[in-house]
Amino acid sequence: MDIIKTKKKMQEWADSVRKEGASSGFVPTMGALHAGHSSLIKRARSENGRTVVSIFVNPTQFGPGEDFGSYPRPFDEDRRMCEKLGVDAVFCPETAEMYSGPGYTSVRVSSITSSMCGKMRPGHFEGVATVVAKLFNCVKPDKAYFGQKDYQQFRVIEALVRDLDLDIDLVMCPVVRDDDGLAVSSRNKYLDGSQRAAAPGIYRALLEGESMIKGGEKNGALAVKRIKESIKKSLPGCRIDYAGVFDALDLSPVKNIGADVVIAAAVYVGKARLIDNILVKL
Ligand code: AMP
């Protein structure tokens, strides 16, 4: 497995894979790899001749006061996991290497970033879209793999690829959960024992919303009320950043449910901001 630290070396590696005629699958990550990441890596391996994983904790997608400094960075463990999973190259540039240019340019995806996490974390998706565009230009993949766990992120990358005519296929992979339903996340490490025990209440609340909607509830506000009550009941000390029912494509809040929706929430449990969602196809 190759460890690649510069953009130029990554591009040369990508070019040599192209020359061989092999397809390449790409899994962008911020490291602290877990079962969610490995599901993406396995999928990428099964569909491509070469698999590249990037590990880069991108400063520009963190807001002031967020956890950029404390975000876990267990590089040796990550490298071992990638090796075990048969990854061909890990792209892990330092921040100064990644942002070596003057930084005059950024990618801003409008409209679909005005709700959900985009509303609560101003600038976050501009940081994400810009770094993913840069990573795509370094890794030059045929296919890129993202988790449904970050549903809005997937829609943002999809818009970026469509609007800028990038020749990359995107694959959305299902949310990987622990046995009790909690979505696996690098940020679950921040939870203490009792917070961890209560955290699956977020998913249970989303499931309640899903069963209301599948049972015929058309009033988005009523579903949201139930979801928020359920979260507060299971996690009395938490702070709900947002919880809502959103159009599955344009991500606007839905009052009258008539098409596919995503039920999504972000909840502060202690230091951890946990996100989760369920896609409901009608
Ligand atoms: P991150 O390292 O948190 O930036 O995540 C890298 C990729 O892994 C993103 O596409 C995430 O959506 C995906 N991912 C993170 N957690 C999960 C999970 N529990 N299930 C599926 N995909 C995930």
* Per-residue pLDDT tens listing for the chain (282 residues): 999 999 999 999 999 999 999 999 999 999 999 999 999 999 999 999 999 999 999 999 999 999 999 999 999 999 999 999 999 999 999 999 999 999 999 999 999 999 999 999 999 999 999 999 999 999 999 999 999 999 999 999 999 999 999 999 999 999 999 999 999 999 999 999 999 999 999 999 999 999 999 999 999 999 999 999 999 999 999 999 999 999 999 999 999 999 999 999 999 999 999 999 999 999
Question: Which ranges of 48-191 does DSSP label H, i.e. alpha helix?
Answer: 75-84, 95-98, 116-120, 124-139, 151-163
Q: What's the pLDDT at 47?
A: 98
Q: Which atom of ligand 1 is nearest to the CA of 150?
A: 12
- The binding-site residues of ligand 1, defined as CB within 6 angstroms of any ligand atom, are 29-30, 36-37, 39-40, 146-147, 149-150, 173, 175-176, 183-186
Which residues are part of the catalytic machinery?
37
Q: Is 171 left (phi over 0), alpha (psi -120 to 50) or beta?
A: beta
CA of residue 217 relative to chain centroid, distance: 29
Q: Say if residues 31 and 13 touch (Cβ distance below 8 Å).
A: no
Sign of CA dihedral 203, 192, 79, 10: positive
pTM above threshold 0.95: yes
> Which residue's CA lies nearest to atom 10 of ligand 1?
146
Per-residue pLDDT of 13-67, as tens digits, reads 999 999 999 999 999 999 999 999 999 999 999 999 999 999 999 999 999 999 9
Q: Which atom of ligand 1 is nearest to the CA of 145?
A: 10
Burial code (b: 16+ CB inside 10 Å, e: under 16) for 17-46 equals: beeeeeebbbbbbbbbbbebbbbbbbbbbe
Q: Which atom of ligand 1 is nearest to the CA of 34?
A: 16
Q: Say if residues 160 and 133 touch (Cβ distance below 8 Å).
A: yes
Q: Say if residues 94 and 5 touch (Cβ distance below 8 Å).
A: yes
The residue type found at 269 is V
Ligand 1 centre and the CA of 96: distance in Å? 24
Q: What mean pLDDT, rounded, does the chain reach?
A: 98
